[in-house]
Structure 1
Amino acid sequence: MRISFFDRFRLGVAVAVAKTVTALVRSLRLGAASVLPGEIARRLHPNLLQLLSRQVKHGVIFIAGTNGKTTTSLLLRTMLERQGWRIAHNAAGANLVNGLMTALLANTNLIGQLSADYAILEVDENILPKVLPSIQPKFILCLNLFRDQLDRYGEVDTISQRWKDAIAQLPKETVVILNGDDPTLSYLGQQLPQRVLSFGLSEPEAYLDEIPHAVDSIYCPRCGHSLDYQGVYLSHQGDFHCPSCGFEKSKLAIDSRKWPQILIGIYNKYNTLAAVLAAQEIGVDADTLLDTIKNFHAAFGRSEELEVAGKKVRILLSKNPVALNETIRAVNQQRSNGGSSTTLMVLNDRTPDGTDVSWIWDVDTEKLVEKGGTVVVSGDRVYDMALRIRYSQAEGNVCKLIVKEDLQDAIATALEHTPTGETLHILPTYSAMLEVRGILTGRQIL
Structure 2
Amino acid sequence: MKKIRFVLSVWVCKILIYLGKLMGKKGSATPGAIAYKICPDVLRILSVKISKGIIAVCGTNGKTTTNNIIDKILTDKGFKVVCNNIGANMLSGVITAFIEKCDLKGNINYDYATLEMDEAFAVKIFEHLTPTVMVITNLFRDQLDRYGEVELTANYLKGALNLKKEVKLIVNGDDPVLFNIAKEHGNYLTFGVGQKSVSSYKDGEMKLCPRCSKKLSYEYYHYSHLGNFSCDNCGFNHPDLDFYAKDIDLSDGISFAVNDDTKIALNYKGFYNVYNVLAALSVIKTLGIDFENINEVLSDYKPQVARMEAFNLKKKVILNLAKNPAGFNQALQTVMSDKAKKDIILAINDCESDGRDISWIWDVDFDFLKNQNVGSIGLCGMRKDELNVRLKYSEVNALYNTYDNIKEAILDKLETDSDVLYVLVNYTVIFESQKILKELEGKNNG
TM-score normalised by L of structure 1: 0.91
- Measure the CA separation in 2 of the matches of 1:319 and 1:404: 20
Question: SS of 1:373's equivalent?
Answer: strand
- 1:176–1:88 distance in 2 versus 1, CA, 3 Å: same
For residue 279 of structure 1, what is the aligned residue in structure 2? 284
SS in 2 for 1:332: helix
Q: Which of 114, 122, 126 is the matching residue for 1:128?
A: 122
Q: Which runs of 5+ in 2 are unaligned?
A: 247-256, 259-263, 441-446
Instruction: Give percent identity, aligned residues only.
Output: 32
Q: Is the 8 A contact 2:199 2:271 kept in 1?
A: no
CA distance in 2, matches of 1:134, 1:442: 41
Quote how far apart the aligned CAs of 1:221 are. Answer: 0.9
Greater Cα shift, 340-349 or 290-299? 290-299
Give the secondary-structure state (helix, strand or coil) at the position aligned to 1:106. Answer: helix
Structure 1 partner of 2:250: none
The alpha carbon displacement at 1:205 in A equals 4.0
Q: Which residue of 1 aligns with 2:305?
A: 300
Are the counterparts in 2 of residues 305 and 312 from structure 1 also a CA contact under 8 Å?
yes
Looking at secondary structure, tell me which structure has more strand per residue: 2
Give the TM-score of the pair, scaled to structure 2: 0.91
Q: Deviations over 1:204-224 (max 9, x none)?
A: 142525x21xx3221111111
Counterpart of 2:7 in structure 1 is 12
Q: Which moved more, 1:118-127 or 1:199-208?
A: 199-208
Match of 1:94 among 88, 99, 108: 88
Q: Is the contact between residue 53 and residue 111 of structure 2 (CA under 8 Å) also seen in structure 1?
A: yes
Matched, 1:326 2:319: no
Q: Which residue of 1 aligns with 2:421?
A: 424
Mapping for residues 215-364 of structure 1, pairs under 5 Å: 215-257=204-246, 258-259=257-258, 260=264, 262=266, 263-307=268-312, 309-335=313-339, 339-364=340-365
Greater displacement, 276-285 / 424-433: 276-285
Question: Which residue identity does 2:213 align to in structure 1?
Answer: G
What amino acid sits opposite 2:211 in the alignment?
R
| Equivalent position amino acid for 1:326 in 2 | Q
Q: Spell out, residue by residue over 1:275-304, the C-alpha distance to the aligned partner (whole angstroms, 9 max, x if none).
A: 001011223322232322333321111111
Counterpart of 1:178 in structure 2 is 171
Pick closer, same or farther for the CA change 1:225–1:261 going to 2, 3 Å. Answer: farther
Give, in whole Å, the separation in 1 of the partners of 2:58 and 2:350: 23
Say whether residues 1:143 and 2:142 are aligned partners. no
Question: Which residue identity is paired with 2:169?
Answer: V
Residue 249 of structure 2 corresponds to which residue in structure 1?
A: none
Shift of 1:119: 0.8
The count of corresponding residues between Structure 1 and Structure 2 is: 423
Work out the CA distance in 1 between the residues paired with 2:285 and 2:338. 32
160-169 vs 345-354, greater mean Cα deviation: 160-169
* Residue 402 (structure 1) aligns with: 401
Q: How far apart, in 1, do the equivalents of 2:417 and 2:355 lie?
A: 30
CA contact 1:261–1:272 (8 Å) conserved in 2: no
SS at match of 2:79: coil
* 1:83/1:288 contact within 8 Å kept: no
Q: Bigger shift: 128-137 or 374-383?
A: 128-137
Shift of residue 107 of structure 1? 0.4
The alignment partner of 2:110 has SS state of coil
Which ranges in structure 1 are unaligned for 5 or more consecutive residues? 1-5
Look up the match of 1:3.
Answer: none
Instruction: State whether residues 321 and 424 of structure 2, in contact with CA within 8 Å, keep that contact through their aligned partners in structure 1.
Output: yes
